[in-house]
Amino acid sequence: MTMTAAAEQAVGTKDAIVLVGTTKGLFTLRSGDGRERFELTGPTFAGEEVYATCIDARSGATRLFTGSISNHWGPVLRRSDDLGATWTEDEQAALRFPEDAGASLARIWQLAAGPADEPDVMYAGVEPAALFRSDDGGRSFSLVDGLWDHPHRTQWQPGGGGLCLHTVLVHPDDPDRLLIAISAAGVYRSDDGGSSWRASNRGIVVGFLPEGEDLEFGQCVHKVARDAGDPERLYLQHHGGIYRSDDGGGAWTAMTGIAGMDFGFPVVAHPSRPSTAYLLPLESDEYRCTPDGQCIVWRTTDAGETWEPLTTGLPQRDAHVTVLRDGFTTDGQDPAGLYVGTRTGEVYASTDDGDSWRLLAEHLPPVMSVRAAPIAV
Amino acid sequence: MNVRIRVPTQLRELVAGAAVVEVAVGGGGDGRATVATVLDRLAAQHPALERRIRDEQGRTRAHVNLFVGSDNVRDRDGPATPIVAGEELSIIPAVSGG
């Protein structure tokens, strides 16, 4: 068999699995020839809204997780140990509020792997805004009381999607250093494994509140990503504004390199190249679609000082699309596979760090989450 | 007494395909079982089914209807609606969604 140019270029990279969570179930894209072609399967859990998925290979075997919700039957966490061929749900709910919390799980927003050398540790971010931790590979989770009992919690206000904890970042050098983000409460950090938390939003201007210049919390942080080279460097997409921190979230500085574009949902860091990150800005918080009908991914390779538009293969006419906070991800490889899912049901991919893109799927239900990872050939 | 619970098609995979499951309940203080006591028993026998019907706080999910015989329990006493021997509890999804 003759290898195509793309396949030759991809030698050394592994095939990828892409979990596409939609409002009507889970779809899976899987490549078989070095990320050149992908096969789509699904829907699994047809009719359920899949806001969170996780692909976890820390233990050596790949585990998949989904957090979904049925409009009728409520939220459910499922796990697959065979790349999605079969899924299991634990008899006792893995993820539920304890009785004395006085709350019920409304939606699972984030499923995040814990430290690399602790493969049984996972985190879940949920609505109402709360963090859960698992120490048994996702079979059971416990509420992180330190955040739930935070005195700010009763003052947190929901964003448009609900009062959700949607981002969990574990520091790669210190598993006790956790960063979470909540819409619309902002960033909170813990240095003691979650026992105590402090708001960490200094410098993030809240344009939608009259006193928004110097608020301790109340920011509508949409997503945070950590730089591949410097773990203290973070990129943040706010409801209005893009920010960078060079001290692990202690202070945030506005990045202004994309003229006039400050609204958007996702931010993605390159998985291995320092100072490299991606944004997909949208036009204003009134419209929330790609501006001028052009779908553009922006890339920085200098930690946000400058940004370049990436358009090759992305629609540049009449493309009024929306990409939500977890609709943009990377598969962790180098060159990076990048995957974008839209609310209009398209999935675009790049396997060359964003230089060029192609359509992997269309006519899917609205995409709420995309996660990707390499798989063994 | 044993109470028969009718399971909608969408949830039968949680109970090995059964259209009906039975739970054994004792009478309450007044000698009668209620919807709540039946669901408490269901939680012990089939927890994955029960949590489709009630959340962690014991509230019936908004788009789930429970019928005792032909009566929607929301039109009677809700979870306190009594169930007597021979009556069935039916789980019926609301016609809702998008």
Rounded CA gap, B47 and A92, in Å?
6
Instruction: Tell me if A11 is assigned to some domain.
Output: no
- What element of type H or E holds A6? helix A5-9
φ, ψ of residue A348 to 5 degrees: the values are -110, 150
Contact B94 A105 (CB under 8 A): no
Instruction: Tell me if B69 is assigned to some domain.
Output: yes
Contact A180, A133 (CB under 8 A): no
Contact A275, A234 (CB under 8 A): no
Q: Does the pLDDT at position B31 exceed 70?
A: no
Contact A366, A345 (CB under 8 A): yes
Task: Please report residues of B whose CB lies closer than 8 A to that of A96.
Answer: 51, 56
Long-range contacts from A146-150, C-beta under 8 angstroms, 24+ separation: A146/A190, A146/A194, A146/A195, A146/A196, A146/A197, A147/A180, A147/A188, A147/A190, A147/A194, A147/A197, A148/A101, A150/A188, A150/A197
Q: How, if at all, do strands B82-83 and A308-310 pair?
A: unpaired
Residue A8 CB burial class (10 angstroms; 0-12, 13-18, ≥19): exposed
The residues, any chain, with a CB within 8 Å of residue A50's CB and separated by 6 or more, are A21, A22, A23, A25, A26, A66, A67, A68, A368, A369
The residues, any chain, with a CB within 8 Å of residue B70's CB and separated by 6 or more, are none
Cβ of A103 under 8 Å from any chain B Cβ? yes
Rounded CA gap, B48 and A57, in Å?
27
The residues, any chain, with a CB within 8 Å of residue A49's CB and separated by 6 or more, are A21, A22, A23, A24, A68, A69, A70, A71, A107, A368
Q: CB count, 10 Å around CB of A210?
A: 7
Q: ipTM of this model? A: 0.93
Instruction: Tell me if A71 is assigned to some domain.
Output: yes
Contact A352, A321 (CB under 8 A): no
Q: Does the pLDDT at position B27 exceed 70?
A: no
Q: Tell me the residue type at A356.
A: S
Rounded CA gap, B82 and B84, in Å?
6
Q: Identify the CATH number of the domain in which residue B54 sits.
A: 3.10.20.30
A153-207 tens-digit pLDDT: 999 999 888 999 999 999 999 999 999 999 999 999 999 999 999 999 999 998 8
- The two structure tokens encoding residue A198: 């402090």
Task: Please report residues of A whose CB lies closer than 8 A to that of B93.
Answer: 72-73
- What element of type H or E holds B4? strand B2-6
Instruction: Tell me if B48 is assigned to some domain.
Output: yes
Q: How many CA atoms lie within 13 A of B18 on its CB side?
A: 11
DSSP track, A192-239: STTSS-EE--TT---TTSTTTTS-SS---EEEEEE-SS-TT-EEEEET
Q: How many domains does chain A contain in total?
A: 1
Range of the domain at B73: 2-93
Identity of the residue in A72, A97, A102 whose CB atom sits nearest the CB atom of B61:
A72
pLDDT of residue A352: 97
User: What percent of chain A shows pLDDT beyond 70?
Assistant: 96
Instruction: Tell me if B60 is assigned to some domain.
Output: yes
Instruction: Tell me if A139 is assigned to some domain.
Output: yes
Give A21's strand partners.
A26, A369
Q: How many domains does chain B contain in total?
A: 1
Residues A5-28: what's their mean pLDDT?
Answer: 79
Instruction: Tell me if A7 is assigned to some domain.
Output: no
Better pLDDT: B29 or B4: B4
Rounded CA gap, A319 and A340, in Å?
14
- The two structure tokens encoding residue A25: 């179930």
Nearest CA in chain B to A96: B56
Instruction: Tell me if B98 is assigned to some domain.
Output: no
Cβ of A104 under 8 Å from any chain B Cβ? yes
- Locus of tokens 């809204």: A49
pLDDT of residue A160: 86
Give A359's strand partners.
A348
pLDDT of residue A153: 98
Contact A20, A43 (CB under 8 A): no
Q: Does the pLDDT at position A59 exceed 50?
A: yes
Contact B64 A72 (CB under 8 A): yes
Q: Does the pLDDT at position A6 exceed 70?
A: no
Q: How far is CA A236 from CA A232, A251, B84, in A?
A: 13, 11, 59
Q: Does the pLDDT at position A12 exceed 70?
A: no
Interface of A with B in 41-100 (CB under 8 A): 47, 70-74, 89, 91-93, 96-97, 99
Instruction: Tell me if B40 is assigned to some domain.
Output: yes
Identity of the residue in B48, B56, B63 whose CB atom sits nearest the CB atom of A104:
B56
Rounded CA gap, A55 and A366, in Å?
21
A291-331 tens-digit pLDDT: 999 999 999 999 999 999 999 999 999 999 999 999 999 99
DSSP track, A79-124: EESSTTSS-B--SS-SS---GGG-----EEEEEEE--TT-TT-EEE
A110-160 tens-digit pLDDT: 999 999 999 999 999 999 999 999 999 999 999 999 999 999 999 999 988
Nearest to A306 by CA among A279, A329, A333: A279
Range of the domain at A165: 16-375
Q: Identify the CATH number of the domain in which residue A45 sits.
A: 2.130.10.10
Using DSSP, state whether A366 is helix, strand or coil: coil
- Burial code (b: 16+ CB inside 10 Å, e: under 16) for A246-282 equals eebbeebebbebbeebbbbbbbbbbbebebbbbbbbb
Better pLDDT: A8 or A342: A342
Task: Please report residues of A whose CB lies closer than 8 A to that of B52.
Answer: 70, 72-74
Q: Does the pLDDT at position A30 exceed 50?
A: yes
Q: Tell me the residue type at A247.
A: D
Instruction: Tell me if A5 is assigned to some domain.
Output: no
pLDDT of residue A8: 43
- The two structure tokens encoding residue A347: 């999935």
Task: Please report residues of A whose CB lies closer than 8 A to that of B55.
Answer: 74, 104-105
Mutate to test the interface with B, among A45, A49, A73 (most CBs of B within 10 A): A73
